[in-house]
Amino acid sequence: MVNPDDADDLPIEDHGSVDDDWAAAMAEQATATTGGGHAQPANIFPSFDDPVDKNSMMQDLDMILDIPVQISVELGRTRITIKNLLQLAHGSVVELDALAGEPLNVFVNGTLIAQGEVVVVNDKFGIRLTDIVSPSERARRIGH
């Protein structure tokens, strides 16, 4: 579409198409507005005034249940120099800041959500959750 301010710079034969484009845009706008001249708002969010439809809520919940999240368990942390990092080899021991027996931190998409202890099930490591971080505590930790 051509900017009407640039219409004076166009050759004479192109002025008609500028007017046609503007006429089409104005007609489209007129059909999209109500009697008050304001555009209709998109009805994409449910109103809080509407009665709660449990089937609709379950469908909305089902929609997010299949979204994958990344869960990570942190045993501990440490800071080392690049020089020391490059010296690590098979069998090297890296000292962590966590003490033996301390709970492990469980993160979901980088947010601490729980703490737990290591368990072994069928020769695989797992974690038994011992403490779930409350939503208010998660919000408090984000602020710091």
For 28-78, the pLDDT digits (tens) are 777 765 455 555 666 666 666 666 666 777 777 778 888 899 999 999 999
Residue with tokens 């002025």: 15
Mean pLDDT across 78-87:
94
Regarding pTM above 0.85, the answer is no
Contacts of 133-140 with C-beta under 8 Å, sequence gap 24+, read 138/111, 138/112, 138/113
CATH number at 66-143: 2.30.330.10
Query: Where along the chain do its domains lie?
Result: 1-37, 66-143
Give the model's pLDDT for residue 71.
94
Span 112-144, pLDDT tens digits = 999 999 999 999 999 999 999 988 887 777 766
